[in-house]
Structure 1
Amino acid sequence: MSLIGVDIAWDRPTVAAIQGVGAHFVARYLSTDPSKNITAAEVTAYRAAGIGTVVVWETTTGRATAGYAAGQADAQAAEQQRKAVGLPGDMPIHFAVDEDTAWASVAPYFAGASSVIGQARVGVYGGYAVIEGAAAAGYRWLWQTLAWSGGRWSSHATIRQTGGTTLHGGADWDTAETPDYGQYPRPTTPQEIDMTPAEHQMLADIHAALASWNDFKGWDYANRDERKANPHSPDAWGKLGATLANSEEILTAVKAGAPLALTDAQVKALASQVVPVLVPQLVAALGHALDGTKP
């Protein structure tokens, strides 16, 4: 689902007005015109209100066709302005292509910008042909405008500028097409949590005990990233839970290893009553053992 935003130049609607039109992020400017540029106060206010911020460097119409040196100069200026308003150093900066042109005509400019802040942080704003060309060249942050697009939307666009709003008469609608569209605050990705040595040993002991049952299959619980490292808890514990939930496998183990004077039908009936109760309790107990809590 697309996330609604607005981009604002000289108009400065309040945070309440921005939220009032349903916008979740604001695109603001860096340029040679201080009256248009984002301020440190705005950065602080937007963050406090939970509004994301995207920035774009924009000066004159044909600036992006001015070549490599122009890209370097603009990236240096944009980087200085970014620092001055308190935006983080890992934040992408878009650079505007404000005319109907081919990617080849602006590629040197973006190469120049990349030499200053790195291609990973260089965003591209422009029409369909420019966005398609930028995507093919390996640029990630792609803000496509409705202008110069001929009604076509690139599947590579991370932001789409879809048209004008009535917000102070000077804002354009934007939609973020991906969860990470180059905004501030930068999104975070949940990290895997490695098991401690004690948890690793606990799991190994459980595995050894279960593997001693007849016909009970073991599993490879090596780390995804490095086979000799401790296993990640989502790998090992998830697999353990899935294995224990397999009632047929437990039934086979019980039938083969338990010297009970029961018929097959009796064993199956007993297992059908015990397994639904035992397995959830065992899995819960293992979870409590892992996080150090008591059931």
Structure 2
Amino acid sequence: MRGLDYSTGPPSPSAAKAAGFDFVMRYVGTPGRWKNITAGEYRDMTGAGVGVALVFENRAGDALADRAAGARNARAALDDARSFGWPDDLPIYFAVDQDMTTESQMRTVVEYMRGAGDVLLSFQGQQRLPLVADTCRELRRCRYRAGGRLPSFDVICG
């Protein structure tokens, strides 16, 4: 399955399909922002059989905020997604588009994600979004790929 991530004007669904893409990954959460999906784009893509996945990221440093910020951002993402018909049983992803190199940063990211999970889990169900567990699993995987050059996340993730 191939996906297309873009933050500029959307391709037509037929162009996405012709290029071999099965789905698009689009930003959500800040209505009216140039890089976010619109209701029309969502209808066009899904109506043509192109899948849509949603991700929240307003700024690269979002995840360096606190748990309350994670909850606020999750609420914004959920409200925006619902405004164009996004089903509650589908996940909304969160991006961390910045290298985290210290244990302190990683603790902050995990708390931010926990805040997002506080909101999204209550709407999307425990089985749909094991957010913190997935985050910790990915952190460990990244550390392994980096040859141990990243901090250990066992203290953060348990």
TM superposition score category, shorter chain reference: 0.7 to 0.9
Question: Post-superposition shift, 1:18?
Answer: 0.7
Separation in 2, partners of 1:136, 1:97: 12
Deviations 1:12-55 (A, max 9, x none): 11112111210001101114352221112122211221111100
Matching of residue 117 in structure 1 with residue 120 in structure 2: yes
Question: Post-superposition shift, 1:123?
Answer: 7.8
Q: 1:35 to 1:123 in 2, by over 3 A?
A: farther
Counterpart amino acid of residue 55 in structure 1: L
Decide whether the 8 Å contact of 2:57 with 2:94 is kept in 1: yes
Match of 2:44 in 1: 45
Separation in 2, partners of 1:82, 1:132: 22
Separation in 1, partners of 2:138, 2:15: 38
Query: Unpaired segments of 5 or more residues in structure 2?
Result: 147-158
Separation in 2, partners of 1:34, 1:47: 21
Q: 1:134 aligns with which of 133, 136, 155?
A: 136
Decide whether the 8 Å contact of 1:62 with 1:97 is kept in 2: yes
Question: Post-superposition shift, 1:132?
Answer: 7.2
Separation in 2, partners of 1:123, 1:53: 20
Decide whether the 8 Å contact of 2:5 with 2:24 is kept in 1: yes
> What fraction of aligned residue pairs are identical, expressed as a percent?
36
The two structures have a TM-score, normalised by structure 2, of: 0.74
Question: Post-superposition shift, 1:121?
Answer: 4.7
Instruction: Tell me the C-alpha RMSD between the 2 structures.
Output: 3.0
Counterpart amino acid of residue 26 in structure 2: R
Matching of residue 75 in structure 1 with residue 74 in structure 2: yes
Matching of residue 17 in structure 1 with residue 19 in structure 2: no
Matching of residue 93 in structure 1 with residue 100 in structure 2: no
Separation in 2, partners of 1:114, 1:132: 11
Counterpart amino acid of residue 3 in structure 2: G
Secondary structure at 1:116's aligned position in 2?
helix
Deviant stretches of 4+, over 6 Å: none
Decide whether the 8 Å contact of 1:4 with 1:23 is kept in 2: yes
Secondary structure at 1:6's aligned position in 2?
strand
Question: Post-superposition shift, 1:10?
Answer: 2.1
Higher helix share: 2
Match of 1:104 in 2: 107
Deviations 1:44-94 (A, max 9, x none): 211221111100001111110101010010011001001101110111011
Secondary structure at 1:45's aligned position in 2?
helix
**Structure with more contact order per residue of length (Cα contacts < 8 Å, sep ≥ 6):** 2
Q: 1:38 to 1:120 in 2, by over 3 A?
A: farther
Decide whether the 8 Å contact of 2:42 with 2:84 is kept in 1: yes
Match of 1:27 in 2: 25
Deviations 1:158-204 (A, max 9, x none): xxxxxxxxxxxxxxxxxxxxxxxxxxxxxxxxxxxxxxxxxxxxxxx
Separation in 1, partners of 2:83, 2:57: 17
Match of 1:56 in 2: 55
Separation in 1, partners of 2:71, 2:49: 33
Decide whether the 8 Å contact of 1:113 with 1:122 is kept in 2: no
Decide whether the 8 Å contact of 2:29 with 2:81 is kept in 1: no
Deviations 1:75-117 (A, max 9, x none): 1100100110111011101111011115433000011111111
Counterpart amino acid of residue 112 in structure 1: G
Separation in 2, partners of 1:120, 1:29: 23
